[in-house]
Amino acid sequence: ARPLLEIRDLNLDFGTPRGCIHALRNVSLDVPAAQVIGIVGESGSGKSTLAYTVMGLLPENADVTAGSILFEGKDLLKMPAQARRSLRGDRLSMIFQDPMTALNPVRTIEGQMIDIQHHEQGTRGEKRARAIDMLRRVGISDPRNRIGAYPHHFSGGMRQRICIAMALLVKPVLLIADEPTTALDATLEVQIIHLLKDLQREIGCSVLFVSHHLGAVAELCDRVAVMYAGEVVEQGAVRDIFHNPGHPYTRALLECDPGRIRKSTRTLPTIPGEVPSLLGSKKGCIFHTRCPQAFNRCLQENPVEYRIGVDQVARCHLHDEERLVSA
């Protein structure tokens, strides 16, 4: 079957007074139906930019210079603004790092949860009942009484649960979660991850899960894409990437004690060297300034994606060299 979301050769620039920032470079990524795809990478690698591009929530200075994003076979980038708006909060929904991005501080949870169902059938009373049920499912106790409260009556963790309830109330086919647990402590994070997994299975939606917690990704995701400086440098099944990483950057991320990654909620380790500036055009592999295995070709030529397993690709010349040696 055709993937739900197909991102092809996406390139995006931000215009800034200092020049053009190439925030996404030739990004290609599939999100199959009912699967959870993790996006990992250091700060500034373009994870949120990718998420916002799919949602159609880019700032004014963003310019998609090439590529397509097919959602259910239709190119989101060619859709009129009105059509994109009506997809949001219906077939597409999003959970943000800060729950207050999605919540209105001066309205009750009830009003907001009823409004978000404007695409759904049913009376106000039925929508209220659905909202109460969803609040109960995400672990808000006594939802019948508390639904009338305002966001500030809830703790940060509770607000994030409310946002998850709101995002899932519309029964999206694709949920985008941009670091939804970063603001929470480790115990709450584990609870939220389990909650997301349960609800995803039940609703059968796909999830694009942006995170710098490798443990959370291992726990929740079927597939993972590793981003570096605006490129997806490696992608594949979670098991393959974590056990047999094919890109030196992925290996660097996993190097410190891979055994712990599955269970811990450890954040991305810091790897030596500096992230390249995204200003101006680049020659060669984007990772060559930090790569312990860089060789001549890496400074000249940007690697293409090499297939290195049944379901795993990596952008690194080493895989081409291997092929040449074994041929």
The reply to whether 46 sits near ligand ATP by the rule CB under 6 A is yes
- Which residue bears the tokens 């450890």? 266
Q: Which among 314, 179, 320 is positioned nearest to 251, based on CA atoms?
A: 314
Quick one: tokens of 203?
Answer: 């609703």
Q: Does the footprint of ligand SF4 cover residue 291 (CB under 6 A)? A: yes
Rounded distance, CA 1 to CA 283, Å? 37
**How far apart are alpha carbons 146 and 148 in whole angstroms?**
5
What DSSP character marks residue 99? G
> Which one of 288, 306, 312, 313 is in contact with ligand SF4 (CB under 6 A)?
288
Question: What does 236 bind: ligand SF4, Mg ion, ligand ATP, none (CB cut-off 5 to 8 Å by kind)?
Answer: none
For residue 190, the minimal CB distance to ligand ATP (Å) is 20
Rule CB under 6 A: is residue 49 a binding residue for ligand ATP?
Answer: yes
Say whether residue 49 binds Mg ion (CB under 5 A): no
Residue placing its CB nearer to Mg ion in the complex, 48 or 112:
48
Q: How many residues bind ligand SF4 (CB under 6 A)?
A: 13
Binding mask of the shown chain, residues 202 to 241, with x at each position contacting ligand ATP by CB under 6 A? ----------x-----------------------------
Distance CA 164, CA 88 (A): 15
Judged by beta carbon, residue 72 or residue 305, the one nearer ligand SF4 is 305
Q: How deeply is 131 buried, as exposed, middle or buried, from its count of CB atoms within 10 A (0-12, 13-18, 19+)? A: buried
Which of ligand SF4, Mg ion, ligand ATP, none is residue 278 near (CB under 5 to 8 Å by kind)?
ligand ATP
Contact 249, 229 (CB under 8 A): no
Which residue stretch of 39-47, 84-92, 196-204, 249-257 sits at the interface with ligand ATP (rule: CB under 6 A)? 39-47
Q: How far apart are CA 101 and CA 55, in angstroms?
A: 14
48 touching Mg ion, by CB under 5 A: yes
Picked from ligand SF4, ligand ATP, Mg ion, none, the partner binding residue 14 (CB below 5 to 8 A depending on kind) is ligand ATP
With CB under 6 A as the contact rule, the residue among 96, 154, 287, 306 that binds ligand SF4 is 287
Nearest CB to ligand SF4, comparing residues 161 and 290: 290
Count the neighbouring beta carbons within 10 Å of the beta carbon of residue 266.
16
Taking the complex as a whole, the smallest distance from the CB of residue 96 to Mg ion amounts, in Å, to 10
Closest to ligand SF4 by CB, 16 vs 293, is 293
- List CB contacts of 119: < 8 A, sequence separation 6 or more: 86, 89, 90, 170
Contact in structure between 313 and 245 (CB atoms under 8 Å): no
DSSP-based three-state secondary structure for 35: coil
**Is residue 327 packed enough to be buried (19+ CB in 10 Å), middle (13-18) or exposed (0-12)?**
exposed
Binding to ligand SF4 (CB under 6 A): which residues in 99-158? Answer: none
List the interface residues with ligand SF4, window 225-284 (CB under 6 A).
247-248
CA atoms of 40 and 320, how far apart (whole Å): 24
- Tell me which of Mg ion, ligand ATP, ligand SF4, none is bound by residue 318, counting a contact when its beta carbon lies within the kind-specific cut-off of 5 to 8 angstroms: ligand SF4
For residues 179 and 196, is the Cβ–Cβ distance under 8 A?
Answer: no
Interface with ligand ATP, residue 249, by CB under 6 A: no
Min dist. Cβ of residue 252 to ligand SF4 (A) = 10
The burial class, CB within 10 Å (0-12 / 13-18 / 19+), for 145 is exposed
Tell me which residues touch ligand ATP (CB under 6 A).
14, 16, 21, 23, 41, 43-49, 59, 61, 212, 278
